[in-house]
Amino acid sequence: MRPFLNPNFTGPVILGKPTQWFNPAAFIAPPSASGFYGNVGRDTYIGPGLATWDFSVLKNTRIRESLNLQFRAEIFNLLNRANFNTPNLIVFTPPTATNTTGLSGTAGAITSTSTTARQVQFALKLLW
pLDDT of residue 117: 94
**Rounded to two decimals, what is the model's pTM?**
0.71
What is the DSSP pairing of strand 67-76 with strand 4-5?
unpaired
Cα–Cα distance measured from residue 125 to residue 109, given in angstroms and rounded to the nearest whole number: 45
Report the C-alpha dihedral over residues 99, 103, 108, 111, rounded to 10 degrees. Answer: 30
3: pLDDT strictly greater than 80: yes
Q: How many CA atoms lie within 13 A of 110 on its CB side?
A: 21
Q: How many CA atoms lie within 13 A of 73 on its CB side?
A: 4
Q: What is the pLDDT of residues 23-66, one digit of tens each?
A: 998 988 877 777 778 888 888 888 999 999 999 999 999 999 99
Q: What is the pLDDT of residues 94-125, one digit of tens each?
A: 777 666 667 788 889 999 999 999 999 999 99
